[in-house]
Structure 1
């Protein structure tokens, strides 16, 4: 059963229930029911076929989170077409590179997105252009889909057929294509439904596009925040807080930066945010002081940190209520960040990446020699039905995939270890581990401890020349951090220098993960 068939099942069960609610002006909403999504997407599929698109064709989508986006996605799935997503903030070169790796047959987006055609030869060369919104020269209007009879053909049901393609940023090399098949989406939905406790009829404040698909399959109403989700760490929180009060979502899944904005605004207003039963946060490391702040503001809600990656989402979860005083003490003293128990159906191992050199096919007896026992730190590897088996055209597989007895294991690039209770602890990126004459120092061992020091908002550990350098960002713009006191607190880490920065650069997608390449450039520029 694919996403379309799951939607059809929910349409039979609750045709008039709201499937998606999106803001349409102050205190106004646009609502799509399960039945209207089914009808509109079927008309859209017929229109796409009339435009000349066929099963297997790739369509580049630049539409932001909206009802129109999901009508389009479902229409593409009905026709057996593949939706391709790129990050416009990654720049024109990234766009051109990705389109050369996988040339699309169609391009869809709002009028603003079509302005990119003026600067992009790759976009201009795409045969079909569709615009969602006001009409534009050289593009067919998506509104024309309303005039078509719904396509009632059964959607393709091959679990191996591609459904979605995204690309990694390519910040450390060529972008890699991440292909999610219909079978992958089904398995991911199954895991998310269990992990997030999705119940038909619930309302969810949904900030991440893939979670709307999971909600549709579970009969959950998705509320799209009244905010610019392209920059989750810089949203205007007031309209979102009004939505929460008015529409009553019981759950949200959001980046820590998005939730921080809500917390700061609500703290100024006074009083907690009521209504949420569960607040899930991830997409970046969520350190203890952040979870504690969420627990204070989102009163009566279960605060749950989710660890995962593009290739395997989710991997592990931890309830803040289950974190003991002893766990908190360990995180202050260099044990890293507690990620929790791996999700059901996923196998997780710790690879001794100091010894492994050969890649490719392994036998279990050989492979087990390179897996570390509890308490020892290595690279986190995962395998399961919702773990990406291969990148587009196999580019990147040799560095990140291990085949063992028919199972494909994915190398996450994250360092970690298991404790004696089977809980996973994170130690940061393997590429950021410091190894010098004093030994090995993992970034999260220091950063998790540093962010719990008074006045520290964010921290980042670097090896700069021969020095162990810790950079910290104060919580308040006018605030300060006792660098001497912090250095003394972290004496066990042997930090050579602690510096204060007004802002540590973060990733563009979640605005929450430290952008180490950008940070290194800042440090180098300052040195010059």
Structure 2
């Protein structure tokens, strides 16, 4: 008797443009016999996309994401998001996207960003994520190194790609997301989706924990942008660490002002409320608008860069406002100011926490500190000790090694000795994409096979096993009288009420640089510059290192990174400071 495919198999083959033999769970059926399937389809062994499927089953009607479109807010439940992810998977398969195919993703934060990211993770397609605000030359450099085979983005990104010739020699598939004019030979994701019925689950491949999940490019604020290779197992460990570290629970409402944390929030079962803001300029986010969202949607968790946190705390204080429902504020990207955290805490309800995790694109979280311990160390910071970033999180080992030495036991330093910060653990990436020079500088594998990441930061460990951050190695000011650590010195002067922030730079040849303190003043406090300099000299007079600062300059608003608007570009300031010398 001849053999026929079951009706369900034929439908799946038609929807997905795949041979039926490739669809898990489908067997050939004898004509007239009942349709049977295997016991269970293969499911991924790794990947955070599994977490979305779980939330779809456990809390299908909970809002997963809300965003403002047109004249109002649109909401999608976990069930709706999961179904859209499945449709997106099928659409991408039809468009020619395959497992392991590096694919640039340039989609604005919101429902489509989540749908595309989860779909790619579910399929085993590594998204290449690059900060769009790093400029044309920076984007071109990252794309040249990534050598992507596909490009998924909004129409504006495709117009830039076509005009500037980004990855023209490697890109085979061009898919646009959202309305707008697109260049020739570019298809639309929605057109591919229309060819797939909404309720067809996507049978995800079995993913290995060591399989590449994503390529995450650094912002380029502290050196050339590098593409950190993130494995599925690493991302899952990061999500678990963030959940345990911050006590995040499903059902909470999140207000992420950084897209990656918005993704993590949905993975952890939170409702992501996407703010209306320029995500490459968080310092310019409207505090009144954020406060309105926090109150309107009963937000319980907020991610805020130090720049945004400072603006928010000042606005709350000046308008005598309280945020009683907010349980948690997470601030990362650069060290937050003690006075701004204290001001923010005064506006939060009992039991609320402000936490400052330490990490990097290549490794997070590594350490963490809550507001109580951070504020208790404020006096030490004002005395030039640096900034306490807390103890290492569970599963992470931090070592302090001599400068320019690997973290082997013969190069480790004792407590209170300043050196380079190295990190090892399941949340640490093992290498960079097509960047052997960065691998040689930042990565080290010990005799036991453990992978270590060189953060490029300077610090020390105190007698309570806490790590203190002193500044970046490449930004250390090497003078004839010894080395000066930038952040440690700056915090001595940052306590002045008229100072917004300071930056220590050097002018002259290496080893005999002249230390110069750049000053950005607050707009709401008027003070004579000569008077301010005299008062700053008085602050530094009793602190070793700070007492050697004799030159001061006022460059205006500091140049900062595009991701958090908090990391200071000291190289640009150094050039300004050198020109200001008589």
TM-score by length of 1: 0.93
Aligned to 1:21: 66
Query: What are the within-5 Å matches in structure 2 for residues 374-523 of structure 1?
Result: 374-395=415-436, 396-404=438-446, 405-465=448-508, 466-476=513-523, 479-480=526-527, 482-491=532-541, 492=543, 493=546, 494-523=548-577
Sort the Cα spacing of 1:172 and 1:273 in 2 relative to 1 into closer, same or farther, 3 A.
Answer: closer
Pair 1:252-2:302 in alignment: yes
Aligned to 1:317: 368
Specify the SS of the correspondent of 1:119: helix
Specify the SS of the correspondent of 2:331: strand
Are the counterparts in 1 of residues 253 and 272 from structure 2 also a CA contact under 8 Å? Answer: yes
Q: CA deviation at 1:305?
A: 1.4
Q: CA deviation at 1:406?
A: 0.9
Sort the Cα spacing of 1:7 and 1:211 in 2 relative to 1 into closer, same or farther, 3 A.
Answer: same
Aligned to 2:399: 349
Specify the SS of the correspondent of 2:357: strand
Are the counterparts in 2 of residues 253 and 279 from structure 1 also a CA contact under 8 Å? Answer: yes
Are the counterparts in 2 of residues 274 and 298 from structure 1 also a CA contact under 8 Å? Answer: yes
Task: Give per-residue Cα distances to partners, 1:418-453, cap 9 Å, x unaligned.
Answer: 111111111001122223232232112211121112
Pair 1:148-2:193 in alignment: no
Task: Give per-residue Cα distances to partners, 1:394-420, cap 9 Å, x unaligned.
Answer: 521111112112111111111111111
Query: What are the within-5 Å matches in structure 2 for residues 85-100 of structure 1?
Result: 85-100=129-144
Sort the Cα spacing of 1:181 and 1:448 in 2 relative to 1 into closer, same or farther, 3 A.
Answer: same
Pair 1:107-2:151 in alignment: yes
TM-score by length of 2: 0.84
Task: Give per-residue Cα distances to partners, 1:290-310, cap 9 Å, x unaligned.
Answer: 222222334543111121111
Segment of structure 1 superposing worse, 426-435 or 414-423 = 426-435
Hey, what's the Cα distance between the residues in 1 that align with 2:51 and 2:69? 27
Segment of structure 1 superposing worse, 259-268 or 405-414 = 259-268
Report how many aligned residue pairs link the two structures: 517
Q: CA deviation at 1:80?
A: 1.7
Hey, what's the Cα distance between the residues in 2 that align with 1:189 and 1:487? 45
Hey, what's the Cα distance between the residues in 1 that align with 2:300 and 2:180? 38
Aligned to 2:327: 277
Segment of structure 1 superposing worse, 331-340 or 271-280 = 271-280
Pair 1:33-2:77 in alignment: yes
Q: CA deviation at 1:124?
A: 4.9
Segment of structure 1 superposing worse, 184-193 or 272-281 = 272-281
Are the counterparts in 2 of residues 78 and 156 from structure 1 also a CA contact under 8 Å? Answer: no
Q: CA deviation at 1:94?
A: 2.3
Are the counterparts in 2 of residues 427 and 444 from structure 1 also a CA contact under 8 Å? Answer: yes
Hey, what's the Cα distance between the residues in 1 that align with 2:277 and 2:221? 27
Specify the SS of the correspondent of 2:426: coil
Hey, what's the Cα distance between the residues in 2 that align with 1:373 and 1:223? 45
Query: What are the within-5 Å matches in structure 2 for residues 160-175 of structure 1?
Result: 160-170=210-220, 175=225
1:79 aligned to 120, 123, 127, which one? 123
Sort the Cα spacing of 1:312 and 1:264 in 2 relative to 1 into closer, same or farther, 3 A.
Answer: same
Sort the Cα spacing of 1:314 and 1:171 in 2 relative to 1 into closer, same or farther, 3 A.
Answer: closer
Task: Give per-residue Cα distances to partners, 1:27-52, cap 9 Å, x unaligned.
Answer: x3211211111111111111111111
Hey, what's the Cα distance between the residues in 2 that align with 1:521 and 1:25? 45
Hey, what's the Cα distance between the residues in 2 that align with 1:291 and 1:199? 24
Hey, what's the Cα distance between the residues in 1 that align with 2:168 and 2:430? 33
Specify the SS of the correspondent of 1:282: coil
Task: Give per-residue Cα distances to partners, 1:445-493, cap 9 Å, x unaligned.
Answer: 2111211122111100112223211111112266336111111210232
